[in-house]
Amino acid sequence: MPKITDEKRALRRIQILEAAWSCFQKQGLHATTMSDIIAASNLSAGAVYSYFPSKDELILAAVKTSLTGLRERVEPLLNAAPLLPPSRFIEDIARAVTDFTAREGYDLRRVALLGWSEAQRNEHLRETMQVYYVEFRARLADAVANWKRAGEIRKTADDGDVSKTLLAMILGFVVQSAITGDVSAQELAHGLRDLVQREGADAE
């Protein structure tokens, strides 16, 4: 077995990461043993450890990857021109969360909950997440500025405050749909629309 190509190494990494995801979702981060992951990956202990030096590193990679994966899906929505109005925008973001979950064969929402929990005791993970969410909020603030120009929300709105509220809605959607399992992207969006529109205002 001489030198393996970088391509193959990358594939192996993904193979292991997928095995890990699958276990993590079913059993949680700590109830999952390395043996579980090793068995699910169809590799040997040594092989897995040659790709990830510790369980913590594997957890980190799993969570980071899901963060990155989500970003890639949400990016187009943020860059769309013209930008969709707030409630439609939120609906699409929520749908991206839901779709990501369904498509990749693993539940992004569950991984998110596990990751947040883990971030409490893992410095590196906590920082990674902080940076991620702060950056994401900055992108939302850009969207808010856009909406102000488009007259979707009033000019005096504070970009920062609104972006915080929007992020809260998105993260809360993740939690709520993971725990109660009975919330759709559409319901979230309609709820926002109804909150926004007063009596007599014309719908969407």
Partner DNA sequence: GATGAATGAGTCTTCATTCAT
Partner DNA sequence: AATGAATGAAGACTCATTCAT
User: Token match 């609104």: residue?
Assistant: 162
User: Token match 């205002």: residue?
Assistant: 201
Give the whole-angstrom CA distance, residue 138 versus residue 144: 10
Q: Is 165 in the site for DNA (CB under 7 A)?
A: no
Q: Which of 46, 82, 181, 200 binds DNA (CB under 7 A)?
A: 46
Q: What angle do CA 100, 101, 103 make, to 5 degrees?
A: 65
In sequence order, the 6+-apart residues with CB closer than 8 A to the CB of 85 are 147, 150, 152, 204
Work out how close the CB of 43 gets to DNA at its nearest, in angstroms, rounded to a whole number: 4
Q: Which is nearer to DNA, 34 or 113 (CB)?
A: 34
Q: Which is nearer to a copy of itself, 19 or 90 (CB)?
A: 90
CB atoms within 10 A of CB 57: 13
Work out how close the CB of 9 gets to DNA at its nearest, in angstroms, rounded to a whole number: 8
Name the helix (H) or strand (E) containing 33. none
Q: Is 27 in the site for DNA (CB under 7 A)?
A: no
Q: Which of 13, 49, 126, 175 binds DNA (CB under 7 A)?
A: 49
| Structure-block tokens of residue 31 | 């109830």
Q: Is 178 in the site for DNA (CB under 7 A)?
A: no
Q: Which residues bind a copy of itself (CB under 8 A)?
A: 25-31, 86, 110, 113-114, 116-121, 126, 129-130, 133-134, 137, 151, 153-158, 160-176, 178-183, 187-188, 190-192, 194-201
Over 29-42, what HEC string results?
CCCCCHHHHHHHHC
Work out how close the CB of 165 gets to a copy of itself at its nearest, in angstroms, rounded to a whole number: 3
Give the whole-angstrom CA distance, residue 204 versus residue 197: 9
- Footprint of DNA (CB under 7 A): 1-4, 12, 31-35, 43-47, 49-50, 53-56
